């Protein structure tokens, strides 16, 4: 009987394993993916910019189902995200690698000390304090081992090369001691890009495939001309010759006629079966606007031998990143779904929650099944750390709601929900003295970092308890409030979210939704309590 039941379970699992997977594999704000494999397990890290904890880390057994297991920057004292850290600054494109029992993440802290390495024996953490790398100009560092030596590749100009065309940048390499963060020997420029006017060479990753050195980089910027290019060399130090197939991956020629746009910044991994796959960033616009910003996608790669040598072919027969395709030949391994409801009964905050810049964690505590937030004077419109705890918006159609208890007799004290892209682009649905208010902040010009705030609507409200709800529908949003979940009414008209899209907001960050409060510049010990928070897709 036991054997029969076991076989039945195995058959059910086999029958439930799909033949295909859908992109993206990480939806919402997960740009600049880097990946490595240890045994039969895959680990991936993404950029996080001004958000803390930084460097989200996921693991997977099948390259499709991913579980968040921690963050590389998980202690407020590892790196201080200082006030005045601008939108889309902070932690840039990381690389994750594994060597001789140690995990390494190398990345850049823009607007502070530059490039650094953190290490861990277990990718769930704890991760080490940063080892800051001296004399490492530029961004997007990566590590490559050959035998017992390690090499640093980074994006930047080190040889006083003239800016002979707009956006000129380069990729350079130097030996490094990765356990001390010390560069060794001489630097060498490897390339300025695949063409004489190539722009913004960045995101380098170096591999050795079939006895040949392959350099993979991003080019063209992270917008409409984004692309992946490759370079071949018989020797580690070059010369690195642009492959004739370049760009080996791009959607730049498709404009907005294809559901996936602006592909680039890729990394490679070989499965335990010998197959090659690539992760990369891309966007999914709705009605011409990329509200979810840059997400992580997956594509099959064939290794071929061409005139240029080893040549990567992305999704053979298609040449484009697909919305759905045959999944990797790996055991189907679903992970536990992220709970829709957080009722704040755990001992620690869920891994989904993020803060703008470095928070004082004493301002947030889970007590008796509620989340208590101490309000700070900082606001969402400043480059500071406000009382804001938020999670990524991962769906074009979603619902976010929360039950709140807040008592205030002062106009400057307010609390509620916020839908946030950056300091100049957000909505706030708040309770303040005797009323509910819906506020909107928009940038006056494209890519403007200072927003113009306006009051969309106010409604008289008495009572200390309220339920708020935000309903996202593509590039539209509706805002609701009420004394309980069954008696909600809309405040204001349906709102436009197009200014959240990369096409208007620009920047490298993404869209978040969460719980917020402020005393509007006044020092206070005011508190707000949340009974629960719920986030879920609506279709």
Quote the pLDDT of residue 159.
82
- What is the architecture of the domain spanning 17-326? 5 Propeller (2.115)
Quote the pLDDT of residue 452.
87
Quote the pLDDT of residue 7.
43
Within 10 Å of residue 408's Cβ, how many Cβ atoms? 20
CB–CB of 374/517 below 8 Å?
no
User: Residue 218 and residue 31: Cα distance in Å, rounded?
Assistant: 13
Quote the pLDDT of residue 447.
61
In this structure, which CATH number among 3.60.21.10, 2.60.120.200, 2.60.120.260, 3.40.50.300 belongs to the domain 341-537? 2.60.120.200
Q: Classify each residue of 135-163 as buried b or exposed e, where b means 16 or more C-beta atoms within 10 Å of its C-beta.
A: ebebbbbbbbbeeeebbbbbbbbbeeeee
User: Residue 440 and residue 428: Cα distance in Å, rounded?
Assistant: 6
The answer on pLDDT for 6 being more than 80 is no
32 is catalytic: yes
- Work out whether strand 387-392 and strand 451-460 pair parallel, antiparallel, or are unpaired: unpaired
User: Nearest-CA neighbor of 223 among 63, 354, 88, 313?
Assistant: 88
Considering Cα of 47, then 52, then 53, then 59, what sign does the dihedral take? negative
pLDDT over 90 percentage in the chain: 90
Confidence of residue 513 (pLDDT cuts 50, 70, 90): very high
Confidence of residue 408 (pLDDT cuts 50, 70, 90): confident
- Catalytic annotation, pick one of 32, 140, 295, 378: 32
- Catalytic annotation, pick one of 62, 140, 202, 342: 202
User: Residue 172 and residue 154: Cα distance in Å, rounded?
Assistant: 6
Rounded to the nearest 10°, the torsion over CA 440, 441, 443, 447 is -110
Question: Domain boundaries in the chain?
Answer: 17-326, 341-537
User: Nearest-CA neighbor of 299 among 222, 228, 214, 200?
Assistant: 228
The answer on pLDDT for 480 being more than 90 is yes
The answer on pLDDT for 3 being more than 70 is no
**Span 123-160, pLDDT tens digits:** 999 999 999 999 999 999 999 999 999 999 999 998 87
User: Residue 164 and residue 157: Cα distance in Å, rounded?
Assistant: 12
For residue 492, the 8-state DSSP code is S
User: Nearest-CA neighbor of 265 among 214, 331, 327, 221?
Assistant: 221
User: Nearest-CA neighbor of 278 among 211, 225, 207?
Assistant: 207
**Span 205-215, pLDDT tens digits:** 999 999 999 99
User: Residue 501 and residue 475: Cα distance in Å, rounded?
Assistant: 8
202 is catalytic: yes
């Amino acid at each position: 009987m036991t054997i029969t039941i076991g076989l039945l379970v195995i058959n059910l699992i086999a029958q439930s394993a799909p033949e295909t997977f859908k992109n993206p594999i990480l939806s919402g704000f997960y740009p600049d993916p880097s990946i490595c494999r240890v045994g039969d397990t895959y680990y991936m890290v993404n950029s996080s910019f001004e958000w803390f904890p930084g460097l989200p880390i996921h693991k997977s057994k099948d390259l499709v189902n991913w579980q968040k297991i921690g963050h590389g920057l998980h202690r407020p004292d590892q790196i201080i995200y200082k006030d005045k850290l601008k939108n889309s600054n902070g932690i840039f494109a990381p690389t994750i690698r594994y060597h001789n029992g140690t995990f390494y993440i190398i990345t850049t802290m823009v607007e502070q000390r530059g490039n650094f390495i953190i290490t861990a024996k277990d990718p769930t953490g704890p991760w080490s304090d940063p080892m800051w790398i001296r004399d490492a100009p530029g961004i997007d560092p990566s590590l490559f081992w050959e035998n017992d030596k390690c090499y640093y590749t980074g994006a930047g100009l080190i040889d006083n090369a003239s800016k002979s065309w707009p956006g000129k940048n380069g990729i350079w390499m130097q030996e490094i001691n990765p356990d001390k963060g010390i560069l060794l020997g001489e630097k060498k420029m490897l390339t300025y890009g695949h063409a004489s006017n190539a722009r913004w060479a960045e995101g380098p990753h170096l591999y050795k495939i079939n006895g040949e050195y392959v350099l993979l980089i991003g080019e063209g910027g992270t917008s409409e001309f984004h692309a992946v290019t490759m370079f071949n060399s018989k020797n580690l130090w070059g010369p690195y010759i642009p492959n004739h197939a370049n760009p080996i991956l791009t959607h730049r020629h498709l404009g907005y006629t294809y559901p996936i746009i602006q592909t680039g910044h890729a990394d490679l991994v070989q499965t335990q079966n010998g197959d090659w796959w690539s992760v990369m960033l891309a966007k999914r616009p709705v009605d011409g606007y990329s509200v979810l910003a840059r997400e992580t996608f997956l594509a099959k790669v064939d290794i071929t031998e061409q005139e240029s040598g080893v040549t990567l072919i992305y999704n053979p027969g298609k040449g484009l990143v697909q919305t759905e395709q045959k999944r990797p030949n790996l055991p189907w391994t679903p992970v536990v779904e992220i709970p829709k409801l957080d009722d704040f009964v755990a001992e620690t905050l869920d891994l989904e929650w993020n803060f703008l810049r470095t928070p004082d964690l004493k301002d947030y505590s889970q007590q008796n099944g509620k989340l208590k937030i101490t309000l700070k004077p900082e606001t969402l419109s400043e480059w500071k750390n406000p009382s804001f705890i938020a999670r990524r918006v991962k769906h074009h159609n979603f619902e976010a709601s929360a039950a709140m208890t807040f008592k205030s007799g002062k106009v400057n004290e307010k609390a509620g929900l916020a839908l946030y892209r950056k300091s100049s682009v957000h909505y706030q649905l708040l309770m303040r003295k005797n009323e509910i208010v819906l506020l909107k902040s928009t940038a006056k010009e494209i890519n403007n970092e200072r927003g113009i705030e306006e009051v969309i609507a106010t409604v008289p409200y008495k009572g200390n308890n309220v339920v708020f709800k935000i309903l996202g529908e593509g590039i539209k949003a509706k805002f609701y409030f009420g004394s309980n979940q069954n008696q909600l009414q809309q405040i204001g008209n349906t709102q436009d979210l197009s200014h959240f899209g990369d096409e208007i907001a620009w920047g490298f960050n993404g869209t978040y939704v969460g719980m917020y409060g402020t005393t509007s510049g006044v020092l206070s010990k005011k508190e707000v309590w949340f009974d629960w928070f719920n986030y879920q897709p609506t279709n």
